Chain A
Amino acid sequence: GQNIDQPTEMTATEGAIVQINCTYQTSGFNGLFWYQQHAGEAPTFLSYNVLDGLEEKGRFSSFLSRSKGYSYLLLKELQMKDSASYLCAVRGGNYQLIWGAGTKLIIKP
């Protein structure tokens, strides 16, 4: 079957760095997405990876290894506003998205 795994919850300190992992098993692969979702709000797009390697966008970076079925989202210089859930999603062979359950990130002062 198809599966996306990511930790349920993580805690980090303001100003620090945190890495949120995502592993996947899908039938085909056409890209991996990371979305941010603040409590009670809609998900918003953070990053897209389709080739192996690191994509950097400001304080956020996303890494992909297709051979390992693995991705991570790296958040640097954490701010209190980064407290949110981070959703990993893979676009499978049929071009439909398969979503992980999300990682709730708690930032402490």
Chain B
Amino acid sequence: IAGITQAPTSQILAAGRRMTLRCTQDMRHNAMYWYRQDLGLGLRLIHYSNTAGTTGKGEVPDGYSVSRANTDDFPLTLASAVPSQTSVYFCASSVQGDTGELFFGEGSRLTVL
């Protein structure tokens, strides 16, 4: 089934640990994004990539890093997790063009204790 796959679906993590959230898409979309969603707040962009080999910082990039080695994969790494990074993380992709509609993965619920 075409779409975006995120892993893990849910994870509890001790503060200070390193964690990578995986994201893979098979739609050959150029652009990919990582958002976090917290109660009472809109989706906030962490990092994005307009094409393979390039990445950019979003609204809340501190404490996170990404890479885009190829078109399909866009992992998000928390180098040393902190409790404020407890959130639901969504990976999304889009075709750069007319509407730029986003296609989202199912989300990764991360709890940092």
B-binding residues in A (CB < 8 A): 4, 31, 33, 35, 41-45, 48, 87, 89, 91, 95-102
Contact = CB atoms under 8 A, between A and B. Distances in A.
B104 A43 contact: yes
A48 B101 CA distance: 8
A96 B45 CA distance: 9
Q: Is the interface of A mostly helix, strand, loop or mixed?
A: strand
24 contacts: A4-B42, A31-B100, A33-B101, A33-B102, A41-B106, A42-B90, A42-B104, A42-B107, A43-B43, A44-B104, A45-B101, A45-B102, A45-B103, A48-B101, A87-B42, A89-B42, A89-B43, A96-B48, A96-B58, A97-B43, A97-B45, A97-B102, A99-B42, A101-B42
Nearest to B39: A101
B35 to A, nearest CB: 8
B42 A102 contact: yes
Interface in B31-50: 40-45, 48
